[in-house]
Amino acid sequence: MPRHPITDFLHTAAGPILDVRAPAEYAQGHIPGALSLPLFTDEERARIGTTYKQVNPEKAVLLGLDFFGPKLRKLVEDAKQLAPGQEVRLHCWRGGMRSGAVQWLLELGGFHVNLLDKGYKEYRHWALEELAKPHQLRVLGGYTGSGKTAVLHALAAQGEPVLDLEKLANHQGSSFGALGQPPQPTQEQFENDLAAALAKLPSDKPIWVEEESRSMGSLTIPTPFFSQMQAAPLLVLDVPREARVQYLAADYGRHDAGALASAVLRLRKRLGGLVTKEALGAIADNDMPRMVELVLAYYDKTYGYGLEGRRGITVAAEGTDAAANAARVVAAVSEIASSNSTMLSPDDSQTAGSPAHQ
């Protein structure tokens, strides 16, 4: 069997990636872009595993063959639907019997099969190593409502390398971060997607990333990468409060009142009973600016506390125009670089994480 190490499998071998693990394994985490072609159902896999442990490996293999036999034709037909060119990249968990059996079958069916040597387990090792690699980062910060995500998109449009953590996590970080977002991936899938995104970015240029707290909804930014974010140069957009209120009011006004109320209630302990009641009343009255004013008092105080002791570069902005603010941060970087300032060097000081903002 021709087998490929992970780097060749990802970047040199041709064809769509077919994951022959059980559906539950695929759902827990898979190589980004891989297609599911399960050899066994979740129940079948569980029965084979139980037989392996409680009876013996030989009986488990025979049981697997019982399940495999009736599926031969359908597996080939499904593979042709997923890979009309009939060249595929294939893997299971460890590059063992499951991928070997499907490779044998697909080659009988006329496919050219590129097998991942040590399976998905090898991809996980690669992903975790990618997250731990040193990366040149520039962190874009700012108080809630500064429009940082839009500025990142504007930077990307200007050709700057950008990593959009919020898009990968399907969450904007705050209590309101799930509004309008699809379900979040699993932690394992988030790590896989993050590693793949990092690997696609240039290694010889700084990567822009938005300042986030370590937790993004149900997900956690992996420690090795989050530590690099904390040590990276921080550029803080200083947008007037009134502009931030207008920006957030327009954003939140697009969402369901019930979802907004739930987000406010999640902050009840931090806002206090009276402020929570007033914010809920503002939502009921469709007074988004008032609701935002009430919530911003908490977020601004928390963010200001998080900035204490952390070296940052303040970039004054007149409003939330993304293109204009992207130009401002690029100009600030150029000005500091031309003055040979150390402000763009990584900051080794230990600082508390600050909350994520839009």
Q: Hey, which residues are catalytic here?
A: 92
The CA-CA-CA angle for residues 325, 329, 334, to 5°, reads 145
The C-alpha atoms of residue 151 and residue 142 are separated, in whole angstroms, by 11
Closest of 74, 115, 66 to residue 92, by C-alpha: 115
* Token pair for 228: 């690099």
Q: CA–CA separation, 60 vs 53, rounded Å?
A: 9
Q: Which ranges constitute the DSSP H helices of 36-186?
A: 42-54, 57-68, 72-82, 97-108, 119-132, 148-157, 165-169
> Using CA atoms, how far apart are residues 356 and 221, in angstroms rounded to an integer?
12
Listed in sequence order, the residues at least 6 apart from 58 whose beta carbon sits closer than 8 Å to its beta carbon are none
Task: Specify the pairing of strand 215-216 against strand 219-220.
Answer: antiparallel
Helix (H) or strand (E) holding 200: helix 187-200
Strands (E), 143-213: 162-163, 207-210
Amino acid at 228: Q
Residue 149 is encoded by which pair of tokens?
A: 């995500």
Q: How many CB atoms lie within 10 A of CB 98?
A: 24
